[in-house]
């Protein structure tokens, strides 16, 4: 085996993506069953979790509050081809959450945060979504680590708009009739 084949094989094992069990030679079979590989996988997932949480603060806080952060990051890392670069993996994770639609608030929040980040970077953005709770209160509770209050908000209908055309605000909220 060449060095490149060994490196590629180890990377696939760390990402839980072996080509197939049939194709593993004795070395990779032993490594795949080792406690050391499990430790390396946990460290890699922990490191990515930190990067993703720092990139997507709102969504990360919400997923942590609902005890879903680790599971979503694990699924993302196992199923997606992701970048080694911090900002790119953050975008990829938010897009993954929007695309896979795990639950309504995760999807809505990830989509909002994705558009807010794009807006901050100067991209042309126009996002409109109806939220089931007051987004100001929801985000405020999340940022104050008052997760219980964020999850207990009274339902309503709020049109949230993010637009690169806004000059004096980041996003707008309009309460709609019930």
Distance (Å) of CA 149 to CA 49, 139, 152, 153, 172: 24, 11, 5, 6, 22
3-state helix/strand/coil string of the chain = CCHHHHHHHHHHHHCCCCCCCCCCCHHHHHHHCCHHHHHHHHHHHHHHHHHHHHHCHHHHHHHHHCCCHHHHHHHHHHHCCCCCCHHHHHHHHHHHHHHHCCCHHHHHHHHHHHHHHHHHCCCCCEEEEEECCCHHHHHHHHHCCCHHHHHCCCCCCEEEEEECCCCCCCEEEEECCC
Maximum CA pair distance of the chain? 66
* pLDDT at res. 156: 92
Which tops the pLDDT comparison, 134 or 19?
134
The model's pLDDT over 98-149, given as tens digits with 9 standing for 90+, comes to 999 888 999 999 999 999 999 999 999 999 999 999 999 999 999 998 888 8
Please write the tens of the pLDDT for every residue from 29-41. Answer: 888 888 988 898 8
pLDDT at residue 87 in the model: 80
Q: Which residue has the tokens 């709609």?
A: 176
Please count the other Cβ atoms lying within 10 Å of the Cβ belonging to residue 29. 12
Instruction: Assign 153 a pLDDT band (cuts: 50, 70, 90).
Output: confident
Contact 73, 45 (CB under 8 A): yes
Q: Where are the domains of the chain?
A: 34-175
Q: Cα dihedral sign for 50, 54, 56, 59?
A: positive
Total-model pTM = 0.82
The CB density around residue 33, as the number of other CB atoms within 10 Å, is: 9
């Amino acid at each position: 085996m060449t060095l490149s084949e060994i490196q590629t094989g180890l990377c696939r094992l760390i990402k839980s993506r072996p080509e197939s069990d049939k194709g593993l030679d004795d070395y990779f079979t032993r490594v795949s069953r080792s406690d050391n590989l499990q430790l390396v996988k946990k460290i890699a997932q922990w490191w990515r979790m930190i990067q993703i949480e720092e990139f997507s603060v709102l969504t990360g806080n919400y997923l942590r509050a609902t005890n879903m952060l680790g599971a979503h990051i694990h699924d993302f890392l196992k199923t997606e081809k992701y970048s080694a670069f911090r900002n790119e993996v953050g975008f990829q994770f938010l897009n993954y959450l929007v695309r896979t639609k795990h639950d309504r608030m995760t999807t809505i929040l990830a989509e909002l945060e994705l558009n807010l980040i794009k807006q901050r970077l100067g991209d042309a953005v126009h996002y409109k979504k109806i939220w089931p709770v007051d987004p100001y209160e929801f985000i405020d509770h999340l940022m104050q680590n008052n997760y219980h209050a964020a999850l207990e908000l009274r339902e309503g209908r709020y049109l949230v708009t993010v637009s690169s055309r806004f000059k004096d605000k980041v996003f707008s909220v309009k309460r709609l009739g019930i």
